[in-house]
Structure 1
Amino acid sequence: MSVFTVGTRGSALATTQTGHVAEALAALSGLTPETVLVKTEGDVTSGPLAQLGGTGVFAAALRVALLEGRCDLAVHSLKDLPTSQPEALVLAAMPERVDVRDALCARDGLTLEALPEGATIGTGSPRRSAQLKYARPDLEIVDIRGNVGTRLGRVKGSPQQADDGGVGRVAQGDLDAVVLAAAGLERLGLQEHITEYLDPAVMLPAPGQGTLAVECRPETVAAPGSALAAALEQLDDDATRLAVTSERGLLAQLEAGCAAPIGALARIEGETLVLDAVVCAPDGSDVIRRSARTRELTVDGARALGVELAELLLREGAADLAGL
């Protein structure tokens, strides 16, 4: 093998993320990457993301392409992946995590605290919506769709962004602010639009946010002497895998997906893995926020930590609060 193929969605963010991973693997393996463009249901379906069949709408077509042998690897935003992993595919590498925070992009350089009463904030995420309402119940949350450029273009005073495949014709400059993942904005070089990085104490991110996942068929990582398999092993970051395994373990135990008003963030402090989680009422009227920790720094230990914290949240009424 002198060439490896990488499947990607067609959006600017997806192709940028895929390009970063492909270049890293090429440098580690000495192989030449080729990109395979795959159209996904999430790219062609309009309407609120929460109504598009739950988790995995952006991942399904990429996974089909992998299973059919149309590409060797697929690059996902981990937060978009369902917590149940298909037996026929493996998450072979998770590169070192980047910024986990959500970012406010507001008119006139405003922060969340400085937004006037009744200001409009756009987001397609029930998790972001609920935490915004909890922090600022006086704000109006507007459900929005589209890719990064489309969403940024909704902010008053923002120059119209390049169309990177957003769904249909949308309004321009009709909102006071939008909230997006900082990682995506930074990967696209659009961080100048950020007026405030939202502290996780105010808004916990989605499980896996800021993390990319490289998925492949099991034989790709099992091939003896494979330069690609060795490169995938080198690219995988242990601390990142432990953190996101605990976050996704919590999500799985709660039987929730990316449409649920749940945030989680894990980190390693010395020899301890610490997991913070929040479960919100969809209308932002109440939240349950709890933490747990473990010194068992293994994948099994990380997953068990997520399960433990999920069980605590369930005992405290998380299912009824969030409508799980």
Structure 2
Amino acid sequence: MTPTVIKIGTRGSALAVAQTQTIASSLTAKTGVAVEIVTVKTEGDTSTESLASLGGTGVFAGALREALVAGRVDVVVHSLKDLPTGVYPGLAIGAIPKRVDPRDALCARDGLTMDELPEGARVGTGSPRRAAQLRSRRPDIEVVDIRGNVDTRLAHVAEGRLDAVVLAAAGLDRLGRLGAVTEFLGLDGWPTAPGQGALALEVRAGEEKLVAALNHNPTRTIVEAERHVLAILEAGCAAPIGAHGQIDDGLLFLDARVYSPDGTEKLTSSHALYVADTPHPSLEVAERVAAELLENGAARFAPVGGAQ
């Protein structure tokens, strides 16, 4: 039975609230059901420790999921790149709306691009994947581990503490901050986190119909392939792994790249298959990609094989 008011749980950050408000408006428009937004405080919001030391970006999901299981909310909105790949008992992803821009973006002082940053430039990120990519692309710069919301990170640049930061284009767009971008980083040379740019609407198992109207099947097929690579490699959300999928004329393409933390080594695998040729296209293409990465030695230099 559909509730008269659907309670949607979200983190309290400006970005989380902005993307949840978008989902709330879409859900009401599609279903006619009233929506209430409930803010939930998470460990990732209150701790000042680095994401890597906290166990990855999955720390943002725990409290939201607890609120869902307890019945305090009916739906929670996650940034899919922050959601652990392991199954959470009693919960299910009811919908993945259409994905927006999955790229990373450089926000630098004086309009600088990645290649224009001076030697020794200080570039901030809280992501081990982005840190490895920065060290691979520009071994002459200093990578600085930072925390904080989008405005806090941009302020580091505006106030001269950093020369640049790397952020998700999707988050900047949702906050109306695309004007801070000095370069969008192309996916071919800079693959991003599995699921980046997509949202996941999680519900209690059996209640998927609450949000099913917002599901976008092509997006779901693509991001599930990206996330299956993480799951098969048993790598956490904070591992230095980038992946990007796309569907073109019925063909599902998947590229994934694993970096050593210091950026000195990287491995890439790319495979494709027709979505209509198999009942589980996302899993099958991911298995091919992950098998090739492991065969070529990914476990030798990347922190894969950890618990989710």
TM over 0.5: yes
Task: Give the corresponding residue for 1:165.
Answer: none
Equivalent position of 1:287 in the other structure: 266
Distance (whole Å) between structure 1 residues aligned to residue 279 and residue 214 of structure 2: 17
Identify the residue that residue 176 of structure 1 maps to in structure 2. Answer: 163
Are 1:215 and 2:205 matched, yes or no? no
Matches within 5 A, 1:158-197: 158=158, 172-197=159-184
Match of 1:276 among 255, 272, 280: 255
What amino acid is the match of 1:102? Answer: D
Structure 1 position 14, deviation (Å):
0.4
C-alpha RMSD of the superposition: 1.2
Find the aligned partners of 2:80 and 2:186 in 1 and give their Cα distance: 21
Q: Is the 8 A contact 1:135 1:202 kept in 2?
A: no
In structure 1, the partner of 2:232 is 253
What's the counterpart of residue 167 of structure 1?
Answer: none
Q: Tell me if 1:40 matches 2:42.
A: yes
Superposed, which structure 2 residues align to 1:1-324 within 5 Å?
Answer: 1-155=3-157, 158=158, 172-221=159-208, 229=209, 232-297=211-276, 300-324=280-304
Do 1:242 and 1:299's aligned partners in 2 also have CA atoms closer than 8 Å?
no
Any stretches of 5+ residues in structure 2 without a counterpart? none
In 1, the alpha carbon distance for the partners of 2:82 and 2:14 equals 16
Distance 1:300 1:51 in 2: 35
1:55: Cα distance to partner? 4.6
Equivalent position amino acid for 2:107 in 1: C
CA gap 1:175/1:55 in 2 versus in 1, 3 angstroms: closer
Cα distance between partner residues in 2 of 1:63 and 1:299: 29
Worse overlay, 236-245 or 292-301: 292-301
- Ranges of 4+ aligned residues in structure 1 off by more than 6 Å: none
- Structure 2 CA distance, aligned partners of 1:303 and 1:16? 32
Q: CA deviation at 1:232?
A: 2.1
Deviation of residue 299 (structure 1)?
Answer: 6.8
Report the Cα distance in structure 1 between the residues aligned to 2:106 and 2:236, rounded to whole angstroms: 23
Cα deviations by residue, 1:73-92 (Å, 9 ceiling, x for unpaired): 00000000110121301100
Name the TM-score, length of structure 2 as normaliser: 0.95
**CA–CA distance in 2 between the matches of 1:66 and 1:117?**
48
Shift of the alpha carbon at 1:215?
0.4
Report if the CA contact (8 A) 1:132-1:203 is conserved.
no
- Checking the alignment, whether the CA contact within 8 Å between 2:235 and 2:303 is kept in structure 1 is no
CA contact 1:245–1:299 (8 Å) conserved in 2: no
Distance in 2, matches of 1:323 and 1:7, equals 32
User: Is this contact kept in 1: 2:43–2:60, CA < 8 A?
Assistant: yes
> Could you give the per-residue CA deviations for residues 165-208 of structure 1, whole angstroms, max 9, x where no partner exists?
xxxxxxx4300000000000000000000000001122110000
Partners of 2:207 and 2:282 in 1: how far apart?
Answer: 26
Contact 1:208 1:248 in 2 (8 A): yes
- Which residue identity lines up with residue 178 of structure 1 in the other structure? V
The count of corresponding residues between Structure 1 and Structure 2 is: 301
Percent identity reads 53
Which letter does structure 1 place at the counterpart of 2:282? Answer: A
The whole-number CA distance in structure 1 between the counterparts of 2:55 and 2:117 is: 33
Task: Give the SS at the match of 2:84.
Answer: coil
Q: Is the 8 A contact 1:10 1:38 kept in 2?
A: yes
Change (3 A) 1:62 1:97: same
SS of the residue 1:153 aligns to: helix
Equivalent pair of 2:97/2:198 in contact (CA under 8 Å)? yes
Asked if structure 1 preserves the Cα contact closer than 8 Å seen for 2:61 and 2:83, the reply is yes
Matching residue of 1:162: none
Query: 2:31 touches 2:213 (CA, 8 Å); kept in 1?
Result: no
1:241–1:299 CA contact under 8 A, matched in 2: no
